[in-house]
Structure 1
Amino acid sequence: LTPNPQPPASPLQPCLLSTPCSAPPPVPISVMDASGHCVCTVILPDDTFPLRRIELLETSARNLTLRLQEYGQRLAWYEATLQNASRRLQLLEVGDLTPTELDFQELRKEIGEMESFVSHLRSSLNGSDTTVELQNMSVTVSALESYDKNHVVAMRRDPPCSNPLDPPPSNPCDPPIPPGTCNHRGIWRLGKPSVVQLNWRGASYKAGAWGKESALRAGQKERYWVALLNLDGRRLDSVRLYGSYQDLLLSRNHTDQLITGFGQGAGPVLYNGSFYYNCYNARDLCRLDLESGAVDRKAVPNAAFNNRFSYTGTSWQGLDLAADESGLWVLYATERSEGDIVIGRLGPGSLALEKTWQTSQYKPAATNAFMVCGVMYATRAVSTHREEIFYAYDTRTGRESRLSLPLDKVTDVVRSLSYNPSDHKLYMFSDGYLLRYDVLFRA
């Protein structure tokens, strides 16, 4: 299989296409060599993967970075010059310095240089090369995004369809599972982590949670949320809301919603217009209506709280809320369960438990847990750079199973995990960093 085939040295005769040569478009050219072997040549289309565009994009980004660094250095120098000139003018005004013709000439020269640089900077940013280059980069990025929609990036990330190492139950070439549905046989694997950003308060704030709103109401736009705990890793004062993923990436157009009475722990979730969390210093669930600001609360019967039976490595996460395709859940432990995880399903629009399931998984032995299609998945640390999903409990059948699904991470401690059914992504808050993963299912 060669992108640029060379003419064969020996005479070749046309032959019928065999199975390896009868692939779908692009149409192969097939001939038979002197030894009777069928030789298949395929001319690969130019848009198989936009490597050239990526190289151009990297070059443009590098050139812009160098240019901005140069402007930054010159701006810093002129800022220092301007401050020095300002001090000299102040001395002239108060009479501590005797003015001379040389002083004014020097000031005039410095001001002229700064005017020239400002004019050059304005023309460079306002017309011209930089603006055009930025526009070209924007167009290129949009074009590259279209390749991702055509699953080119997914094909690079996941094994090809013909990979003999694929386990028989899974096939990455099956049609994708529609968001919000459960027409699959559970999680097959997780994609590589995408590091979105460090939280806006910095690396000192290591505990918190984030994600995308679940169960959007009709006509409601998507929202992303980030909830940082205080430096003590316990108290939750507010939640920051973004109107889109782009706004979150660029740290713009956000609103901060204060939490009356405070919450605690890294187990909150944004669901259907309300923010659900563990009320401070209680076994109660709280629900904050983001439109009215009203707060409802209700106790979870017998739930351990205040750092009793929290996940390993993560304090104060007694009540862990989770949303999936089937509704809203709370994961907790009780003294009666001896620390094993209890799964509680909340009634529609209610804080009351509709039904509970008792698992055999000791909560402090897991680093975190989340729900997908009524199945609870628990994780544990394998090393400083890898977790694994090792346990599952299916509330539909009552069956437990042991798994070993790797989950890469960028820091040691996983503070929270939040699955979103509308985009099939897993959102992780790890020592201050916001990460997300593609969740791939067995068809």
Structure 2
Amino acid sequence: MRLGLPALLALLLLLGPSVAAGDSGDLEPLTPDWRPSSSPYSDLNSGFTSGSSSHGGSSSHGGFSSSSGYSSSSSRTYGGSSSSGGFSSSRGYSSSSGGFSSGSGSSSSRDFGFNRSRSGDSTRSGSGSVPQPFSNFSGSKDDNGACLCSITLPDTTFPADRVERLEFIAHTLSEKFETELLRVKEYVRLISIYEKKLSNLTVRIEIMEKDTISYTELEFELIKIEVKEMERLIIRLKGSVVGSSEIIDQLEVEIRNMTLLVEKLETLDKNNVLMIRREIAALKNKLKECEASKGENVPVALAGPPPSPGNCAHGGVVNISQPSIVQLNWRGFAYKYGAWGRDYSPQNPDHGLYWVAPLNTDGRLLEHYRLYNTLDDLLLYTNAREYRITYGQGSGTVVYKNNMYVNWYNTGNLAKINLTTNTVAVTQALPAAAYNNRFSYANVGWQDIDLAVDESGLWVIYATEASTGNMVISKLNDTTLEVLNTWHTKQYKPSVSNAFMVCGVLYATRTLNTRTEEIFYYYDTNTGREGRLNIVMHKMQERVQSINYHPFDQKLFVYNDGYLLNYDLIFEQELL
């Protein structure tokens, strides 16, 4: 940086007192009106110095000479020399860390610079130097009587060191960003690979669900419950028989062996549940025969063979068996509401498919259902056909002649769904029927309309405002869903837990406690009579969501808080 003479004069005036020449070596302040005796621009020369060599000019009689040079120091020194009141300016850089030296060229100028301390004091260097009131200004005379001025200007105009540091930080951040970007790209690649693996795993699991056998601990728990029930029954039979009975003793041994076999299978092989169930069914049949032969819990009027499948030549339901636990519904324990059963067709009564229709967890919407060709398929969760609909409501669903009948969502209408195509074949309004929890069953929501099937066809159980909530029974045309005939009962529907139809007779249940229901009411549409019953019906869970009757099997299919149960009905025999 090079300063001109006007700039130097202005700087000296701003910084404070100046110096005058003198032999004593002491500096005298310059007066404010001091001016050079001749034109300051007459003999101005400039040059550059390197090290201590001087290339410049000097002037007498009021002239000015200027010399400048650069060395390795970051300090700046300004000086001037004059023989007759002139000034000589030199600028150089020395290697001292805190001070500046004045004078350059061949003259033997003394160093009148000083080191800047934190207190701002200046020190005298060499003869003729004097203290100054400002820490960045000093002046003196050299041996030749030339006046030298030294000014310290700190190099803070441009923070080069900070810029360099920022540049380094920016470079470091750029490298880190590139590294993280490469990591992100690698993560994206890995996620894509894992996504494909998950897709393949999903396909494999679906194949396993369809083609392999898979059971959980729940299956064995259900089997254990059934075996324990048989153990209790055999103990009761032994207590009712006087003396020894070879058949009962043999059954007791077989049941104990069955218990050991189940425990062994649970730890070693969980794929033989079906075989165990078949053996349990065979043992149950033997127990039933023994029970009938000993007269245990069977009225005298029931002696003799049961009625043939689909035949109503009996005196009605007089008893019911213990529940047979089939399994948990295919959607899981959380799906507590729903219905299940077996399709009944008079033309093919023993070839009906099995269906399971759990509601969504809200207990209202029927959205998914499954069909199984055989009971074995249902037990093994194999060969299932799953369908989706968006308009079923409540647990009052039933299947008849390969058609599913449901209450249309949010209405009092009925819908007929073709199970072959999963399409709606017919919809029909049920006259005056209440819906949307107006007169639903006790403890079960969204079942104002309950469809049923028996030997004579399709029925619907509901209530109306005109009936003041009492149960209404209507016979339906299964093709058009039109009402063929209607019967009004005196039983209040919301006090009933569920109902089913057998041979034109309505049977209603109510809750006694968390493990017991009671078939307490009947209405015979054949005679118009109604009355009370007292048939105890045991259950596995607290609430019964639906009861469907199958005429050929003469069984009840009960959906009990997500579990699928079976009951055998016992009928009163007609006297010849």
Q: Give the superposition deviation at 1:54.
A: 3.9
* Mapped contact 1:198–1:433 kept (Cα < 8 A): yes
Q: Which residue of 2 aligns with 1:263?
A: 392
Q: Give the superposition deviation at 1:55.
A: 3.7
1:242 and 2:372 are equivalent in the alignment: yes
Distance of 1:315 and 1:229 partners within structure 2: 11
Secondary structure at the counterpart of residue 246 of structure 1: helix
1:153 and 2:287 are equivalent in the alignment: yes
Query: Could you tell me the TM-score, scaled by structure 2's length?
Result: 0.54
Q: Which residue of 2 aligns with 1:200?
A: 330
Gaps of 5+ in 1: 1-40, 70-130
Residue type at the aligned position of 1:231:
T
Residue type at the aligned position of 2:263:
R
- The residue correspondences of 1:21-60 to structure 2 (distance < 5 A) are 49-60=250-261
Distance of 2:505 and 2:568 partners within structure 1: 17
* Mapped contact 2:350–2:552 kept (Cα < 8 A): no
User: Number of residue pairs matched?
Assistant: 331
1:319 and 2:449 are equivalent in the alignment: yes
After superposing the two structures, state which structure 1 stretch, 348-357 or 186-195, moved more: 348-357
1:66 and 2:195 are equivalent in the alignment: no
Write out the 4+ residue segments of structure 1 that deviate beyond 6 Å after TM superposition.
41-48
Residue type at the aligned position of 1:63:
K
Residue type at the aligned position of 2:421:
S
CA 1:294–1:160: 2 relative to 1, 3 Å: same
* Mapped contact 2:344–2:551 kept (Cα < 8 A): yes
Residue type at the aligned position of 1:66:
T
Secondary structure at the counterpart of residue 344 of structure 1: strand
- The residue correspondences of 1:144-223 to structure 2 (distance < 5 A) are 145-146=281-282, 148=284, 151-156=285-290, 158=291, 160-162=293-295, 167-168=299-300, 170-171=301-302, 173-215=303-345, 217-218=347-348, 221-223=351-353
1:338 and 2:479 are equivalent in the alignment: no
Q: Give the superposition deviation at 1:293.
A: 3.0
Query: Could you tell me the TM-score, scaled by structure 1's length?
Result: 0.69
Distance of 1:313 and 1:253 partners within structure 2: 34
Distance of 2:530 and 2:563 partners within structure 1: 31
Residue type at the aligned position of 1:263:
G
Deviations 1:75-128 (A, max 9, x none): xxxxxxxxxxxxxxxxxxxxxxxxxxxxxxxxxxxxxxxxxxxxxxxxxxxxxx
CA 1:142–1:355: 2 relative to 1, 3 Å: closer
Secondary structure at the counterpart of residue 185 of structure 1: strand
Distance of 1:399 and 1:162 partners within structure 2: 30
Q: Give the superposition deviation at 1:152.
A: 1.8
CA 1:48–1:415: 2 relative to 1, 3 Å: same
* Mapped contact 2:515–2:541 kept (Cα < 8 A): yes
Which of 409, 412, 417 does residue 288 from structure 1 map onto? 417
After superposing the two structures, state which structure 1 stretch, 345-354 or 223-232, moved more: 345-354
Backbone CA RMSD of aligned residues? 2.7
Residue type at the aligned position of 1:154:
K
Which of 475, 481, 491 does residue 361 from structure 1 map onto? 491
1:440 and 2:567 are equivalent in the alignment: no
Q: Give the superposition deviation at 1:339.
A: 0.5
Residue type at the aligned position of 2:398:
V
Residue type at the aligned position of 1:341:
M
Residue type at the aligned position of 2:260:
T
Q: Which residue of 1 aligns with 2:512?
A: 382
Distance of 1:154 and 1:271 partners within structure 2: 30
Secondary structure at the counterpart of residue 226 of structure 1: strand
**Paired-residue identity, %:** 42
Distance of 1:298 and 1:160 partners within structure 2: 50
Which of 368, 373, 383 does residue 253 from structure 1 map onto? 383
Secondary structure at the counterpart of residue 315 of structure 2: coil
Residue type at the aligned position of 2:501:
M
CA 1:142–1:383: 2 relative to 1, 3 Å: closer
Q: Which residue of 2 aligns with 1:274?
A: 403
Distance of 1:331 and 1:63 partners within structure 2: 47
CA 1:440–1:52: 2 relative to 1, 3 Å: same
CA 1:333–1:219: 2 relative to 1, 3 Å: closer
Distance of 1:265 and 1:219 partners within structure 2: 27
CA 1:47–1:262: 2 relative to 1, 3 Å: same
Distance of 1:142 and 1:209 partners within structure 2: 24
* Mapped contact 2:349–2:552 kept (Cα < 8 A): no
Distance of 2:503 and 2:514 partners within structure 1: 29
CA 1:394–1:146: 2 relative to 1, 3 Å: same
Distance of 2:361 and 2:278 partners within structure 1: 39
Distance of 1:397 and 1:143 partners within structure 2: 43
* Mapped contact 1:216–1:273 kept (Cα < 8 A): no
Considering Cα pairs closer than 8 Å and 6+ residues apart, tell me whether 1 or 2 has the greater RCO.
1
Higher gyration radius (CA): 2
Q: Give the superposition deviation at 1:56.
A: 3.7
Q: Give the superposition deviation at 1:196.
A: 1.3
* Mapped contact 1:49–1:152 kept (Cα < 8 A): no
- The residue correspondences of 1:54-133 to structure 2 (distance < 5 A) are 54-67=255-268
Distance of 2:248 and 2:497 partners within structure 1: 43
Q: Give the superposition deviation at 1:42.
A: 10
CA 1:58–1:227: 2 relative to 1, 3 Å: same
Distance of 2:448 and 2:247 partners within structure 1: 55
